[in-house]
Structures are given as C-alpha cells and as structure tokens.
Amino acid sequence: MLCLGVLPLQADLRTLTDKLGRSIKADVISVENGIVKIKRDDGQTFELPLTALSEEDQRSLKEWALKMANHIPEGAIKVELSRGAFTSSKREDIAMITTEENWGYSVTVSNTTFKPIKNLKFEYVLFVKPDAEPGRDSVASKLKRSQGSSTLEEIAGNSRSVFRTDSIKIYKQKLKPGWIWGKTGGAEMVRDTLHGIWIKTYVGDQLIAETCTPESLMQTEKGP
C-alpha cells in the first residue's frame, strides 16, 4: 500500500497523462491504495485510479509516494513550552531559610499533519541563571547548562502529546531578620532562576523542529 498524508503546501504540481493521451496539470495531494488525489488550478479536488494513468506517470508517482512517506514536511511538528517547579522543599538553620526546587519544562508536541509521526527524539539544554553572590557582580555570572533528551514513540495525525523535560535544581536562600551576608551585606535573598531552553526535534536524522526561548540564546550559547 502506498500512503501519503501531508499538508497542502507539500502538494506536487505535475502534468499527468492518462492512457488515452489526455493531460491535466494539477497538484498531486496523495497516492493511497491505488488512488491518486489531485487538485486542479480552479481549486477542485478529485480522485482517479492510478492505473488510469500512463505507465511512466504510474512509476513516477509510486516513487514519489514512497519518498514522501518517509519525509516530514516543514511545520509538521509544533512545539510549545511551559516552565514550572516540579517539586519544592525547605530547610532552616539559625540564620537562613533555604528552598530547593526542581524546575523544568512541560513540552506540548502537536502533529499538524494527517498521518502519524513515529520515533521522535528530543535533544535539549536547560539554562540556569545563577543569582549574584553578595559582593559579586551579577554580570560575571555565567549561565549553567543541563543537557537532556526524551523520546515519543508516536503522535497520531492531528493530535498532541505532552512530556516533561528532566528537572534542574534551583536554590533560593533568604536571611532571617537581623542577619547579613558577612562583611559585604547585600540583599536579604539570593536565588537562581531557570533562564530558558533550547530544544531540537528529530525523526531519525532529520531535524524537523527547533525552538529556543529566549531566542537570544541562539546568539550567545551553544545548543544541544
């Protein structure tokens, strides 16, 4: 069975000729179960048997369908990101309250095509911005990196799936009233923040989506 389900922008404009020598110029939308679906210049879509076409067109369309069956069109996968704290805990000593949080991203992956997409792999880097230690210039603090990966076996056509990235520890330290940071003083609280993520989506060796937030990371940092 030859099966193809792609977005309209992936249609292939061709001149098709039947066995009686009659020709039509149209976009080929799909080849499935021996049926060719085409769209004419006037916007009308209809189907015809593959066997009604010339031997050359039949051979060419079969090759095209096999090729496109393994091709993921641009825009087929949409990735949306939402960050948050997965877990949180606190501990206290005589001078300070320390909060330990595990932060990461919830990743929503949408398949915008009509066919299932299998064996997706996601490579990503989480970026953490450390707060300035008391008496230290915050500009000098470099982003910390945490690299990870995830997989999805399949996303059905016109559907979505959600997974979580690995988490990374974020610390917040708050002084109790009356305490200061050594000789330098400074803010009553210091904390790290989850600054962003750079994530790439693959099917096999084909990179099909790349998302980075904030986008400036692409100019200043190294990706996954």
Q: Go through the domains of the chain in sequence order and give each one's CATH number.
A: 8-69 (2.30.30.700), 77-220 (2.60.40)
Indicate whether 165 pLDDT > 60: yes
Ranking 47-51, 74-78, 198-202, 209-213 by mean pLDDT, the lowest is: 74-78
Confidence of residue 28 (pLDDT cuts 50, 70, 90): confident
% helix, strand, coil for the chain, step of 5: 10, 55, 35
Q: What is the pTM of this model?
A: 0.66
Alpha-carbon torsion angle 215, 197, 84, 128, nearest 10: -100
Which region among 9-18, 58-67, 153-162, 212-221 has the lowest average model confidence (pLDDT)?
9-18
Rounded to the nearest integer, the mean pLDDT of the chain is: 83
Local structure of 138: helix, strand or coil: helix
Measured distance CA(183)–CA(126) in Å, rounded: 34
Q: Which residue has the higher pLDDT, 51 or 132?
A: 51
Residue 138 has pLDDT above 50, yes or no: no
Asked if omega into 214 is within 30° of 0 (cis), the reply is: yes
